[in-house]
Structure 1
Amino acid sequence: MEVILKEDVNKLGHRGDVVKVADGYGRNYLLPGKLAIVANAANKAVIEQMKGSAIRKLAKEKVVAEDLATKLSSVELSFERKVGDNDHLFGSVTSSDIAHQLEEKGFTIDRRKISLEEPLKTIGEFHVPIKLHRDVTSHVKVTVSGDRPVETQTASA
């Protein structure tokens, strides 16, 4: 199935690209999610007109993303999680946690733009990349600290 992408799709293509995808992927994910339209003659003509406006829109988005990247580079997030032996966390810090804390600080970032390979499961300082635009990536400093549970002592009478 050939589709025309209306939005950038990770590992598939950019807005305006005509790509060949599996029928199920196109029908069940791209089309209902309004990420693509079916590539037929009429839509190809429409997409050519859209490409011109997309280039202008992309330039504006890049400027906004670069501005946001400079603001995000100074942001530091800290998380406190319960830890066990060997400073191993009970639970983890995920991209959703990072997005939620960024939102509390006034930055609305989609969690899917936070490029966390896997959740943070150890104590330490991490620089997490955030892909704001296809050409703009910012890094946020994330500090994960431990909160050891207080061990209760039994009183002997």
Structure 2
Amino acid sequence: MRVVLHADVDGVGTKGEVVEVADGHARNLLLPAGKAVKATAGAEAQAQGMRRRRSVRDASDRAAAEEIAKVLVPSTISVRAKAAGTEGRLFGSVGTAEVADAIEEQTGIVVDKRKLVLDEPIKETGEFQVTARLHPNVQFPVRLEVVGA
């Protein structure tokens, strides 16, 4: 059955796509959940409009992410840890929430903590790198300097 997706569906497609799926999958899952409608001429025209709007929004999101990258890549963000013991070990750790707060405080740029990727929490003072993934096609390193209070 040909359907027009009204939402992103893993393994099937993205919003606005016209896809061919098994009849049972469409009848039992996609149509009742409102994630798709049967593909008619009118629905396909509507899907084309959704795809155009999505591509325009995606282009503007990418441009905004690239502008943020131009500001954050050359700078070093200083994160003040609550307390540090001898030899630079922290009591606790620095996570993405603290990094996002420090970025906003020092540059005025609001970055969602879920867009920052730490391999593991930072548990000592020093210099580190965090990856920022603001857009599927835009990811860049952010330099951090963790200092004890």
Q: Same fold, TM exceeding 0.5? A: yes
CA RMSD of aligned residues (A): 3.3
Residues 4, 17 of structure 1: 8 Å contact kept: no
8 Å CA contact 1:124–1:145 kept in 2: the answer is: yes
Q: 2:115, 2:132 within 8 Å by CA — same for their partners in 1?
A: yes
- Partner of 2:60: helix, strand, or coil? helix
TM-score under structure 2 length normalisation: 0.68
The gaps in structure 2 that reach 5 residues or longer are 22-28
Partner of 1:106: 108
Shift of 1:116: 1.6
Q: Counterparts of 1:3 and 1:15 in 2: how far apart (Å)?
A: 5
In the alignment, which residue of structure 2 is the partner of 1:117?
119
Q: Show CA shifts across 1:33-74 (max 9, x none).
A: xxxx612327x6444421122112212222221121111112
Deviations 1:108-132 (A, max 9, x none): 1111111123221122211111111
Q: Percent identity?
A: 31
Q: Is there any run of 5+ residues in structure 1 with no aligned partner, and where?
A: 21-25, 32-36, 148-157
8 Å CA contact retained: 1:131, 1:137: yes
Matches within 5 A, 1:1-20: 4-5=7-8, 16=16
Poorly superposed stretches of 4+, deviation over 3 Å: 13-18, 44-48
